[in-house]
Amino acid sequence: GKPVPYVNIKITKEKEAITAEQKRALIAGVTKLLGDTLKRDASRTVVVIEEVSTDDYGFGGESITELRSKQGK
């Protein structure tokens, strides 16, 4: 059979949490995009949303927490 589309969305945990409604919209939107673009069956599409601590997410050799601290955010 056809491969099952698997999408992993990773976002940083912020002060304002992402709501269940926003997560539902992301899942529905990505599923629709794969269906429209790649003609994939929505019932076989897997979407996972992971919220990652800014301490555990790095860019350019530094954590997001460190980078934001330097920027005064």
Q: In this structure, what DSSP letter does residue 60 have? A: T
Nearest to 27 by CA among 11, 39, 42: 42
β-strand 46-52 against 58-59: which pairing, if any?
unpaired
Residue 44, amino acid: R
Is residue 5 part of the annotated active site? The answer reads yes
Q: Active-site residue among 5, 7, 18, 23?
A: 5
List active site positions.
5
